Amino acid sequence: MPNAPSPDPRLVVALAYEGLCTFELGVAVEVFGLHRPEMGPDWYRFAVASLEPGPLRATGGLTVAVDGGADLLAQAGTVVVPGWRGAEEPVPDAIAEAIRAAHDRGARVLSLCSGVFVLAAAGLLSGRTATTHWRYLDALARRYPDIRLARDVLYVDEGQVLTAAGSAAGIDLCLHLVRRDFGPLAANAVARRLVVPPHRDGAQAQIVERPVPLPHEGARLSPLLDRLRRSLDHPHTIAAMANSVGMSERTFLRRFKALTGTTPGEWLRDERLRRARELLETTLQPIETIAVASGFGCAGSLRHHFRERLGTSPVAYRRRFARKAA
């Protein structure tokens, strides 16, 4: 395509189609499509494109009007594919070809929830790691066995191709992309307007054993969690934590997992990683200093946990996410 336009790196285009999943489209609009003058003139521009004739009827009976068709999609620097109309619904060749062409021109392509089936039909996930809502994982594996499925994560970032799990995980992935493009301060500002956590690790599980804790567990353990977050650089033993809330160690471990979905050790590790990421993003402190301040004790331990949990090093993480932090 010698005359094809170059992708506009700040143009985000959401793909619309008959049977469109309304929530996922709303996520893309909220993150990329709202007017945000505080972000300056370099912020995203947003549009909706369709390759199907309208009017398009979305989930819930809403009618969607679009801004353009294939020509608009061809200009996008980022293409967002909301939830597809059904795991067993074939993806039309025209849609698959347009998504593949956008990728080949250099556009980033994101799928939210079941939108992963569109990326798979376009051939963008072959040999790559991807995820989707837990309800669709088996169907995706049957139809596309060459995809490496990440079954228990919120999202996967493969660079130019990104996939999110369930509907709300689409918020996490879109905020992650804001972090990539504009840094953590911008992502935090968007998250505040959305009234959501500014960052949930993509490796976080989709499902925990009990997402809503029993009231008495939250009342007794929540103050402890607050104290632990304020003292991540101190050692914390199971015995000391259990004693501080007046429980036996066995009772404490059971109720802690019921509240958080994980063990005290894993919870502390993830909170310490979160603190280390924050310091890497917003300060120029040496890696050794950050390791001590976040509770890992030494740079070697910090590097080990970054590699094991995040698949990168502290230095590489800082290079990627702190370059636009101010």
Q: Which residues are catalytic?
A: 113
d(CA 290, CA 277): 9
Tell me if the bond preceding 215 is cis, omega within 30° of 0.
Answer: no
Instruction: Give the dihedral sign, CA 11/197/22/81.
Output: positive
Task: Pinpoint the alpha helices (H) of the chain.
Answer: 22-28, 70-75, 93-104, 116-121, 137-143, 169-182, 184-194, 215-230, 238-244, 249-260, 264-282, 287-293, 299-305, 314-321
- CB proximity list for 37: less than 8 A, separation 6 or greater: none
CA distances from 2 to 5, 6, 7, 104, 105 (A): 9, 10, 13, 13, 11
Tell me the three state secondary structure of residue 48.
Answer: strand
d(CA 102, CA 74): 6
Instruction: Give the dihedral sign, CA 240/242/243/244.
Output: positive
